[in-house]
Amino acid sequence: MSDSLEVIARSASGTRACRKLRQDGHVPAILYGHGEDCIDLSLRREDVEAMVRHGSRTVELRGAVSTPALVRELQWNTYGTEPLHVDFLRIDLSEKIVVTVPVELRGECPGAKAGGTFKQVIREVQIECTAQNIPEVAVAHIAYLQAGSVLRVKDLEIPSGTSVTTAGEDVIASCLLPGQKTDEASDIDASATEASDA
């Protein structure tokens, strides 16, 4: 989902200027990328909060600049209640980019019920895709994870038109037997997974 955000150019920078902006209900931001100059911006706090509620990864900036952008980083205060700063990256909607996507576990691990110890090893992976096709999550189906086996990056479910750049052999999750090491574990039964999905 993509939001349209009204941004204002700001000439003053530094801690004091940013603090004043926040007191006035705005959030300082910066726009960079594509070999162009960095531009200091600000936008209304309520617009940033709406963007977060909508789960927008890409936005259309208008006002001081007019360009599609990726929300590269959003900084919050210590309590996670107030947005402090936004980093926007200029993008071409047809150009492939690499983004970090959280791993979402789905199902229950049968191996844990059979005496294995379940552990999630990786919580995020890198995905290459166009800005219009950024997935919200990469899905790991742990319902196929038996005791003594591991689930790897190559087993993740991602939308068509996207690819994972994180190493495919990296372990996402494991369900090990007492005394067993990760390199002694077997991979999940991919054929069973594919048959179930079919």
Q: What's the pLDDT tens digit per position in 96-111?
A: 989 999 999 999 999 9
When pLDDT is cut at 50, 70 and 90, the band that residue 2 belongs to is: low
The C-alpha atoms of residue 148 and residue 176 are separated, in whole angstroms, by 5
Instruction: Locate 162 and state its tokens.
Output: 């996207």
pLDDT digits (tens, 9 = 90+) for 8-66: 999 877 888 898 999 999 999 999 998 889 999 999 999 999 999 988 888 999 999 99
* Higher-scoring residue by pLDDT: 141, 185: 141
| pLDDT for the residue 14 | 83
DSSP code, position 49: H
Q: How far apart are the first and last CA of the chain?
A: 29
| Encoded tokens for 191 | 């054929």
What residue ranges define each of the domains in the chain, with the CATH number in brackets?
Answer: 2-91 (2.40.240.10), 97-197 (2.170.120.20)
Contacts of 166 (CB under 8 A, 6+ apart): 122, 125, 126, 153
Residues 6 or more apart from 22 whose CB is under 8 A from it? 28, 45, 82, 84
What is the chain's Cα-based Rg? 21
Q: Can you give the pLDDT at residue 11?
A: 83
The Cα–Cα gap between 144 and 150 comes to 10
Does residue 136 contact residue 72 with C-beta atoms inside 8 Å?
Answer: no
- Distance separating alpha carbons of residues 69 and 97, to the nearest angstrom: 12
pTM score, two decimals? 0.72
| Beta-carbon count within 10 A of 68 CB | 17
